[in-house]
Amino acid sequence: MKIFKFGGASVKDANGVKNVTSVLEQVGYENTLVIVSAMGKTTNALEVVIKNYIEKSNELNASVQEVRKYHNQILLDLFEDEDHEVFFAVNAHFDDLEYFLRSNKSPNYNFVYDQVVSYGEIISTTIVSYYFNYKGLSNTWLDVRNFIKTDTNYRDANVNWEQTQVLITKKIEKGTLYITQGFLGSDPNNFTTTLGREGSDYTAAIFAYCLGADSVTIWKDVPGVLNADPRYFENAVLLNQISYREAIELAFYGASVIHPKTLQPLQQKEIPLFVKSFINPLLPGTSVSKGSDLEPHLPCYIIKKNQLLLSLSSLDFSFIMEEHISEIFALFHQHKLKVNLIQNSAISFSVCIEDKFNNFNDVKSILAKKFKITFNENVSLYTIRHFNEDAAQIVETNKTVLLKQISRETLQIVAKE
């Protein structure tokens, strides 16, 4: 079985959905499971809904209707008959969303987030599935929450692999075209969970691992894995082949093409991963597979924006020792601050962190009791794999370098634009 994953950019409008259908017609879709993300910027729009709900804003209903209007326009552009059952199916999902917003009693933001934001994927795959059938691509729609089981760590749930394996192998039959959602799972009480932002790639890897799939293909709006993000670097070069190890390194440092958690399950079963263009689906793209000879022989640039550089020093000029560092990291873990770079000396400790859950202020107030704190917000972390002097110069030009760290293969720079 083949696993295909299409992200939000590929289904952002009716033409996108039509193109996904064309891609499948060109490359074949027999014995294939297709994973689809929320359409366009729907996740962001649903985050506005959540914000309005939590704040009890008068704009709540208007923000829901904005999401409904966006999807309804896509439906009108795809289906000639407004009495087609897809309209009723999509409206039923929106009715369910509105019912949740009226009836929920939980004050847990992360729980509310997962219940609401999941409708993006549910509605997206409903539309795509109906359109596939409409165009003669007979398929079976699956609710991924019945297959991927997780713990209750809402917004960044951990997969129960044993239970998930049983459910997937028991219910997925070969020879069929399936369509399901990325990013989602469900907890032991069948409440929706999410696997972390951009977790649809991970969903593809979970299904591939459990099914022993032939391959996974991630369809993007770029020709494959590039050595740099073309939005920030000129003359980006396609990497035709890379090893699992190199792909994991690039993903770890923040390369946006492949989700960091995607590669480990694929590597375990040596399932090849392809990154291809949904604009030119017959081009070879990038293949990720086993082999130490597949390392790139040119610098690879990765940029992480909206980072926070935090520096701690002891109040009494005493050494910052292992017990202090372990205490600091426990605090980061507790508040879900992701550490992307570490540098320490005898009496100071610096970290570049990502605060996607907006918990830094709480952490700062705790740390201030024991340490002197300085920090820079909205900095960028540049990582260059296989760096050379020219590559470093490209990154450092016209920037204020706040921190630099060099290892054998990797150069990292924290800089202010």
Q: 361 to each of 2, 163, 413, how far by Cα in Å? A: 45, 38, 24
Residue pair 213/207 in contact (Cβ under 8 Å)? The answer is yes
Give the residues across from 4 on adjacent strands: 34, 217
Residue 20's region, left for phi above 0, alpha for psi from -120 to 50, else beta, is: alpha
Residue-level pLDDT at 294: 67
Residue pair 277/283 in contact (Cβ under 8 Å)? The answer is yes
Q: What is the mean pLDDT of residues 150-167?
A: 97
Rounded to an integer, what distance in angstroms lies between the CA atom of residue 37 and that of residue 198? Answer: 9
DSSP 30-48: TTEEEEE--STTHHHHHHH
Rounded to an integer, what distance in angstroms lies between the CA atom of residue 183 and that of residue 217? Answer: 16
2-213 and 300-416 have identical folds: no
Judged by average pLDDT, the poorest of 192-196, 203-207, 248-252, 275-279 is 248-252
Q: What is the percent of the chain with per-residue pLDDT over 90, rounded to a whole number?
A: 84
Confidence bin at 187 (pLDDT 50/70/90): very high
Statement: residue 251 has pLDDT above 90:
no
Rounded to an integer, what distance in angstroms lies between the CA atom of residue 195 and that of residue 145? Answer: 11
Which class would CATH give 2-213?
A: alpha beta
* In CATH, 300-416 is 3.30.2130.10: yes
Residue pair 100/53 in contact (Cβ under 8 Å)? The answer is no
Q: Where are the domains of the chain?
A: 2-213, 300-416
User: What is the tens place of the pLDDT at every residue in 10-21?
Assistant: 999 999 999 999
Residue-level pLDDT at 293: 67
Residues 242, 247, 249, CA angle at the centre, nearest 5°? 130
Residue-level pLDDT at 347: 79
What integer best gives the mean pLDDT of the chain? 94
Confidence bin at 115 (pLDDT 50/70/90): very high
Decide which of 255 and 306 is more confident: 306
User: What is the tens place of the pLDDT at every residue in 19-36?
Assistant: 999 999 999 999 999 999
Length of the chain: 417
Q: Which structure tokens are listed for 204?
A: 């593809």
Confidence bin at 417 (pLDDT 50/70/90): confident
Rounded to an integer, what distance in angstroms lies between the CA atom of residue 94 and that of residue 248? Answer: 38
Residue pair 208/266 in contact (Cβ under 8 Å)? The answer is yes
